């Protein structure tokens, strides 16, 4: 691998995390009778992004610094239909016996200043090597379809304006984030009504 950095442990951790999520979700569907997930996307952070993150922290690009200071080399994004599904997935992950919760950040209850909303969980994923077990940190993001759409547009805008976003665009993004929140609440109410009809059948 370039720069003699061994990324195998991150590849193993991603496979372990994907498998664990698949098992947990299958069990959730079996117990509750429905699948709240629209789609799941997994990724390993690119070397360029890792270098940029370490540079921002004034750290040298090496294996030790990556492992200790870049907690999201392994990433999983879970996109769900309704806002209540986000917290169902959070509970599902918390009940796992195979991964360890390190940190939780609820940007739905407390959005970022930009308007960004999502639920982040940093977990420690065990990988079983020849002589020992190594825990690799990974970040799981859980959000609704509406939140994911906003975040995707926000990402594209930040790519086009890497230094500073023009004030009118920034203000519009913040306003649309509020619209997204209202939409999620309306869709949640529709889901409650649908569930009440189902329960009365």
Query: What are the residue ranges spanned by the domains of the chain?
Result: 2-199
pLDDT of residue 95: 94
Q: What is the pTM of this model?
A: 0.90
| CATH number corresponding to 2-199 | 3.30.460.10
Q: What percent of the chain has pLDDT over 70?
A: 96
Residue 4's pLDDT band (cuts 50, 70, 90): low
Q: What pLDDT is attached to residue 46?
A: 93
| pLDDT reported for residue 118 | 97
Residue found under tokens 């991964």: 99
Q: Is the pLDDT of residue 1 over 50?
A: no
Is the model's pLDDT at 182 over the cut of 60?
yes
Report pLDDT for 5: 75
Residues 30-73: tens digit of each pLDDT: 999 999 999 999 999 999 999 999 999 999 999 999 999 999 99
Residue 175 has which token pair? 């306003």
User: In the prediction, which pLDDT does 201 show?
Assistant: 56
Q: Could you give the CA distance from residue 126 to residue 81 in angstroms, rounded to a whole number? A: 29
At residue 106, the pLDDT reads 98
What pLDDT is stored for residue 19 in this prediction? Answer: 97
Q: What is the mean pLDDT of the chain?
A: 92
When pLDDT is cut at 50, 70 and 90, the band that residue 159 belongs to is confident
Whole-number pLDDT of residue 198: 66
| 118-131: pLDDT as tens digits | 999 999 999 998 88
Region 186-197 average pLDDT: 87
Q: Nearest to residue 140, comparing CAs of 58, 1, 25?
A: 25
pLDDT band at 2 (very low <50, low <70, confident <90, very high): very low
């Amino acid at each position: 691998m370039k720069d003699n950095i061994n990324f195998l442990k991150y590849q193993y951790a991603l496979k372990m995390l994907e498998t664990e999520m698949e098992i947990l979700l299958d069990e959730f569907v079996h117990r509750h009778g429905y699948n709240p997930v629209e789609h799941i996307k997994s990724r390993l952070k690119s070397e360029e992004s890792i270098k940029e993150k370490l540079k921002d922290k004034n750290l040298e690009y090496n294996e030790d610094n990556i492992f200790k200071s870049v907690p999201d080399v392994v990433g999983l994004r879970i996109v769900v239909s309704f806002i209540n599904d986000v917290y169902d997935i959070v509970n599902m992950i918390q009940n796992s016996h195979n991964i360890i919760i390190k940190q939780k950040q609820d940007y739905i209850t407390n959005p970022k200043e930009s308007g960004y909303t999502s639920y982040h969980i940093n977990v420690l994923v065990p990988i079983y090597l020849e002589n020992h077990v190594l825990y690799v940190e990974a970040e799981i993001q859980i959000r609704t379809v509406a939140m994911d759409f906003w975040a995707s547009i926000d990402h594209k805008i930040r790519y086009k304006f890497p230094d500073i976003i023009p004030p009118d665009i920034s203000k519009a993004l913040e306003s649309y984030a509020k619209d997204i929140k209202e939409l999620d609440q309306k869709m949640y109410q529709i889901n409650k009504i649908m569930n009440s009809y189902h329960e009365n059948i």
